Structure 1
């Protein structure tokens, strides 16, 4: 039995932040447990390297969903990082925080301290903004946020066409006026990925009061008289036990955090009974409220514009890309998952954007099978605030059994309608003059698909997740909430949850920046209580 002041489960986007902040000063002893391995694989640190890790079980849980009725019974892919840095080591690097209204809505749901003005200082605290400090951005934090290096010409064309289509341009999606089209920033420094392992964990590892264990699978939390006192975990099949003098912090992500709670007997009594797990603490909301962004893609074949599709099939082009990156940290190997895009309204009567575009100089019908063979690009229209809700549930108490992930995508009709409007708006942008002479044809959905019914069928047949799982340990009050506004698990002492699972409603953008903020905010709350 080992004892620490704090035990953190999961070295991901939030967990690495907590490890750094809680071990600052050298007073607290901190144990960080990560199920995956160290981030020594070179492709983790090369931005475009997410193509090498995204389906790689060495660095990724590679979960698969249950059949999804809204997708015609297709199963979906549900990746989650299984390596130091978690999903911040395998994601597309795009740095977006969300809208002011997202966080003000969290506060309105009964979560004081989580409005936009409350959380902005924590975003700024993490950030080392390449453009300099202002009222929205910081420069004193460890997380590098930078502009794209050597952006593709597609960016200028898309932004110009969007202006002609009637959309405004924004210079900062994380500033005062995020609505519009523009260039994304990325979590990178000098052309290298800035995961939370690089930005935060490396600092913690230099401290004598900090202990990191990799390849550590948490089996169950230890509960004594209504308080979590520690946990049991295994490394290489050897069972170990650790005690927390102050807190266990669960930061295993929106898919694994509810799984660990349920495996420990914390959750919906009916779910636990069906899985054969003895009930230790009834909390019906665990694993409920699963939310994710869904995308429908417009794919266009081009002429007269370079495309990653064709470049990767040329040995000379590949060699040139490698040399350019090695010497200058520029070119396609320095690309983020999306270089430019927009937060736009699909109807003028809306009070805020409802669709999020990611524009990419490549295309694929199935990334596991490679890129399309023609020169092309993709405009992915992503649903910002889905109404559909899903679940994450265990089927047994065995640590090796994957949970059942049922996202219920497109269960709400409004989600489907928003994606169809997003496709129509993307088409309208491509029809503008800046794209003239560059477009050969619309490959997907194809110009023959025009009616609402046909577009509905296209979306149901081809839509996919954007891999931003959130919400499964909802913050708030009421019978379906899992944690309170200070992230304490309802009815249990000694345990908080701090990751994307606590979002009562998913933010209107990729979740990584917000998960980092949650880590900062949680560390602040813990230090206040201490």
Structure 2
């Protein structure tokens, strides 16, 4: 495995390294073709790269638009820095924004997404929760008798999620203070991703579950085994051997042994997929991927002998299809992109969790007050392992009781009225109705959470917050493009609160959050409610406040939905894009229905399952078992670098060559040791 950098991206790193080594290894280019080209070196892409490259007669290339992230490695590795030294202000964030949302006071809402090796798993809040069994089985049922549908039922998906995980219980002291219980049988034991709990805790965390139980919301030991309801202290992607973030790079890339068949290019921005013009129009064959390493000035290509796998996320994957000419014909025509394959569902069915936070002052010490007031623990490793993890998933029965039937009738009657008006295709409308009807019947009447509530202890002014987040929106949006230049960002329109049912459920979730803040023992140290304040009481007052304050919970999905094509689906149950012979999508964009969970565990499980499906389709391949180190530090046996040349399109001029820079890495390690700036997890 090689991770290749461009000379321009290495910049000063090489200059510094040269002083520590006598000579660099020879310049070289990446291969002109690979069996598999994976677009996106984020959470899902690195899982796929790892698993496919273990088949020794496959060649695999991952193209990642962002950097390797090493300049910010200490901030990535330190859990608490996800709050206090956020990577959202760095180039490791795509820094998307939505279009103005008419039901949210016309605000453009920030959508941070990870742009580095590891993707959003490198910059997120580390929550590792799982969806409910009923949700996953509903996903499978929406596929009908489609070939491969059973891969997306609960049992195989559960196994795939566990495969990614190595679970470590909390210490006795943390378990006692935080009131943590768990069932080890629902967790994985030998996976690449470390899953555990912080090494530092606050009394309010222990009060969380008791207070919810006093409100009639019980705790559950089986939230990781398919019963996704009730209160818990969630696991987090923390490596408890050194209290660092465990993410897809540290789990699925860094520990791999070099078998010579796996390359990873960073700073390689994919612009489009190229197709064989002689292939059938209803079954086009991709023969190359076009990318750039210099902001679009030079276009490079790498050829494909088997498949392209899009793992660029819920924003990136539909965008690349659209810029490749695959999508709704009206969107492509307006953007000035030639239609290659009409597929109306690309970018449609977008769903996201919408959330807002009730806050109080407190007389107690909080994580935020320690950090911002320069408390004595501020720089302690154990303190810096603390992240918020007390949550609850509250189902509709607990929220509405005897009035649930009335809510369900209101939602069902609203579905036709609030179907999207942004598509010419009746199939997309049919898919919207199928998703919403499944949500309003099977999921609403199940134990699956409709609202997630989360404890927030890290506010800069020392406030305590309780966030309420809508889990199953009936308002669906879309991703589209309005330019033919693939360097331009796509347009993101989540269409928040378009269906009033979403506001109704989220409002009740916020009232629940307020009630929790008034319940013993959690309220024992809370003082004045600071947001929204007790001036907000009526439904209209809640609505106005919500429209001005709510934002994303950072869980977009479904923009390349796995649905039948006649329902606006983009991929089938084997993840193949309709109308394309050898292009798959494997990331959260294919999940057809919003899940009541943080999406990290589901995305790992999806990528593991995608790997199984792809490998099964080439069942004569020779596969080795990957070696994963469970030690806190792992030195990769491969060279790591940035972007490299592929094959230039006809008429292109020569561009940069890449360097093989294992010697640079050795030098940089020496530099780091001398100046003690970065903490490397190698």
Q: Given the two structures, how large is their TM-score scaled by the length of structure 2? A: 0.73
How far 1:108 sits from its partner (Å)?
A: 1.0
Match of 1:194 in 2: 246
Q: Aligned ranges for residues 469-488 of structure 1 at < 5 Å?
A: 469-479=556-566, 480-488=568-576
Q: Aligned ranges for residues 52-63 of structure 1 at < 5 Å?
A: 52-63=85-96
Q: Aligned ranges for residues 401-420 of structure 1 at < 5 Å?
A: 401-420=488-507
Q: Could you tell me whether the CA contact under 8 Å between 1:475 and 1:483 is conserved in 2?
A: yes
Match of 1:366 in 2: none
Match of 1:367 in 2: none
How far 1:176 sits from its partner (Å)?
A: 5.0
| Structure 1 residue corresponding to 2:154, chosen from 116, 120, 125 | 116
Aligned Cα root-mean-square deviation (Å): 1.6
- Highest RCO, 1 vs 2 (Cα 8 Å, sep ≥ 6): 2
| Structure 2 residue corresponding to 1:240, chosen from 300, 303, 306 | 300
Q: Could you tell me whether the CA contact under 8 Å between 1:148 and 1:184 is conserved in 2?
A: no
Q: Could you tell me whether the CA contact under 8 Å between 1:294 and 1:409 is conserved in 2?
A: yes
Distance 2:217 2:503 in 1: 23
Match of 2:476 in 1: 389
- SS in structure 1 at match of 2:307: strand
Q: Aligned ranges for residues 198-237 of structure 1 at < 5 Å?
A: 198-204=250-256, 206-224=258-276, 225=279, 226-236=284-294, 237=297
Q: Aligned ranges for residues 454-493 of structure 1 at < 5 Å?
A: 454-479=541-566, 480-493=568-581
| Structure 2 residue corresponding to 1:351, chosen from 430, 446, 466 | 446
Q: Aligned ranges for residues 27-176 of structure 1 at < 5 Å?
A: 27-40=57-70, 41=72, 42-51=74-83, 52-110=85-143, 111-131=149-169, 135-175=185-225
Greater shift, 158-167 or 175-184, is seen at: 175-184
Q: Could you tell me whether the CA contact under 8 Å between 1:267 and 1:284 is conserved in 2?
A: yes
Match of 1:4 in 2: 34
Q: Deviations over 1:109-140 (max 9, x none)?
A: 01432111221110111111114995532212
Q: Given the two structures, how large is their TM-score scaled by the length of structure 1? A: 0.93
Q: Could you tell me whether the CA contact under 8 Å between 2:367 and 2:458 is conserved in 1?
A: yes
| Structure 1 residue corresponding to 2:608, chosen from 515, 520, 526 | 520
Larger Rg: 2
Instruction: Give the length in aligned residue pairs.
Output: 511
How far 1:308 sits from its partner (Å)?
A: 3.1
- SS in structure 2 at match of 1:232: strand
Structure 1 residue runs of 5 or longer lacking an equivalent are 364-370
How far 1:436 sits from its partner (Å)?
A: 4.5
Larger strand proportion of the pair: 1
Distance 1:176 1:500 in 2: 19
Greater shift, 142-151 or 34-43, is seen at: 142-151
Match of 2:371 in 1: 312
Distance 1:134 1:377 in 2: 31
- SS in structure 2 at match of 1:447: coil
Distance 1:467 1:215 in 2: 24
Greater shift, 132-141 or 164-173, is seen at: 132-141
How far 1:2 sits from its partner (Å)?
A: 0.8
Match of 2:628 in 1: none
